[in-house]
Structure 1
Amino acid sequence: MIKTALLPAVATAMMLAGCMPAPQPAPTPVPAAPVPTTPPPVAGVSGLEEREPDLCGAKEYTQYLSQPGSVISTIGLTKEYRVVEHRGIEPQDYDPNRIVFRLDAAGNINNIDCG
């Protein structure tokens, strides 16, 4: 008879245990965001992105910075080049040997790099 009296008590204890909230997992730490690194600018040259190595030879054309984009056709380039208008659409194909002339809103060359 002791066993049958114990059965309701055990059943009640099990039902109450099911009503208890589940234990909460410990919060996972958030990893720190990586600090972006930017290459140092080329000393004394504004508008030229530093690429090492400068495979396309963009440094050779820095004298054309701030000049109208129309001078590009008169330079006599023998290498492949691309002219990117201000806010123009640029294809995403990358060629490290191609010179890229980027124009500002006024149509002047404001950046020369490889791509």
Structure 2
Amino acid sequence: MPPAGPAGMAPAPVQGYDTPAYGAAPAYGAAPAYGAAPIVADPYATPAAPFDTTTPFETAAAAAPAPVRGISGLTERQPDLCKASEQASAVGQPASVIPTLGLTRSFRVVEFRGIEPQDYDPNRIVFRLDATGTITQIDCG
């Protein structure tokens, strides 16, 4: 509450947020002291269609391509298409036995921590070796 003035007098007015700093507040609905800003056409704006009620999101959704089933370009992995189970006796043998197995199809030897190309051939036998050069796994790929 503002401090009271001398006895019998109203308190002194205090500047608040609701009273203007200089003079009285303009009447409600009074014209501003400055003129209206001129309307300038934007040369880069594209005019909208007069009855276009679609949003950009609806337009983008309508133009979406049809869904694709599956992933194109990948070969489905077939179980033992390369007949790797016929070479199961080589597991635990050194890698030097691979040429003596009499393989008639293509094969790949993947050394321990070696780089393996990512091309997949379901008819190729893959021999995986450990750090000592022993065959630990035989599969297709």
Give the TM bin, normalised by the shorter chain.
Answer: 0.5 to 0.7
1:6 to 2:6 alignment: no
Question: After TM superposition, which residue ranges in structure 1, 4 or more long, deviate above 4 angstroms?
Answer: none
Equivalent in the alignment of 1:111: 137
Residue 5 of structure 1 aligns to a residue whose secondary structure is coil
**Equivalent position of 1:59 in the other structure:** 85
Q: Which structure carries more helix by proportion?
A: 1
CA deviation string 1:54-86 (max 9, x = no partner)? 100011111111110110011110111000111
Which ranges of structure 1 fall in alignment gaps of 5 or more residues?
9-50
- Percent identical across equivalent pairs? 66
* 1:58 partner amino acid: A
Q: Distance in 1 between matches of 2:117 and 2:86?
A: 24
RMSD, aligned CA: 1.7
Structure 2 unaligned blocks of 5 or more: 1-25, 31-76
> When the two structures are superposed, what TM-score results if normalisation uses the length of structure 2?
0.46
Larger radius of gyration between Structure 1 and Structure 2: 2
Contact between 2:78 and 2:122, CA under 8 Å: does it hold in 1? no
Q: Report how many residues are paired.
A: 70
1:44 corresponds in structure 2 to none
Paired amino acid for 1:61: Q
